[in-house]
Structure 1
Amino acid sequence: MTLLCDALLAALDQLPAMAGTHHPWAAANADDSADNGPARRIAHLRAHAARPGLRLVLIGEAAGYQGCRISGIPFTSEALLIDGSIPGIAPCPRLSTRVKPWSEPSARVVWRTLYEQHLADSTFLWNAFPLHPHAPGVPHSNRTPTRAELSAGEGVLRALRQALPDAVLAAVGNKSSEALTRLGYAHEALRHPAYGGVPEFVAGVAQLARKLR
Structure 2
Amino acid sequence: MTPKSFVSALAAADLPSVFNPWRDRCAIHDRRDAAARRRANLERVLVAALDARVETIWIARDLGYRGGRRTGVPLTDEIHLNHAAALMGGIALERATQGPAIAERTAAIVWQVLGRIGQPVMLWNVFPFHPHEEGDPMSNRCHTRAEREATWPFLQALVSMVRPKRIVAIGRDAHLALDGLNIPTTAIRHPSYGGQREFIDGMFDLYGINGREPASPELPLYGAVARSCALA
TM-score by length of 1: 0.85
Q: 1:91 to 1:45 in 2, by over 3 A?
A: closer
Query: Partners of 2:207 and 2:188 in 1: how far apart?
Result: 12
Structure 2 gaps, min length 5:
210-232
Give the match for residue 96 of structure 2: 95
Task: Tell me by how many angstroms 1:166 deviates.
Answer: 3.4
Aligned to 2:192: 194
CA-CA distance at 1:19 after TM superposition: 1.5
- Describe how 1:86-165 pairs up with structure 2 within 5 A: 86=84, 87=86, 88-90=90-92, 92=94, 95-98=96-99, 100-119=100-119, 122-165=120-163
For residues 66-85 of structure 1, the aligned pairs below 5 Å read 66-81=66-81, 84-85=82-83
Q: In 2, Cα distance between the equivalents of 1:128 and 1:67?
A: 15
Structure 1 runs of 4+ aligned residues shifted over 6 Å read none
- Judged with a 3 Å threshold, the aligned counterparts in structure 2 of structure 1 residues 176 and 162 are, in CA distance, closer, same or farther, namely same
Q: Is the 8 A contact 2:61 2:127 kept in 1?
A: yes
Q: Could you tell me how far 1:33 is from its partner in structure 2?
A: 4.2
Question: Is 1:180 matched up with 2:178?
Answer: yes
Deviation (angstroms), 1:210: 2.3
Out of 23, 40, 44, which is 1:43 matched to?
40
In structure 1, runs of 5+ residues without a counterpart are none
| Partner AA of 2:79 in structure 1 | A
Q: How does 1:60-71 map to 2 (within 5 A)?
A: 60-71=60-71
Asked whether the equivalents of residues 58 and 170 of structure 1 are also in contact (C-alpha less than 8 Å), the reply is: yes
- TM-superposed CA distance for 1:95, in Å, is 3.4
Equivalent-residue separation in structure 1 for 2:165 and 2:29 (angstroms): 33
| Contact 2:55-2:163 within 8 A present in 1 as well | no
Quote the offset at 1:10 in angstroms. 4.9
Once the two structures are TM-superposed, the CA of residue 48 in structure 1 deviates from its matched residue by 1.3
CA distance in 2, matches of 1:126, 1:91: 17
Deviation at 1:91, TM superposition (A): 6.7
Which one-letter code corresponds to 2:156 in the other structure? R
For the 8 Å contact 1:61–1:175, the answer to whether it is kept is yes
Contact 1:180/1:186, CA 8 A, preserved across alignment: no
Q: What displacement does 1:195 show?
A: 1.5
CA distance in 2, matches of 1:32, 1:44: 17
Q: Distance in 2 between matches of 1:13 and 1:55?
A: 26
Q: How many residues align?
A: 202
SS, match of residue 107 in structure 1? helix
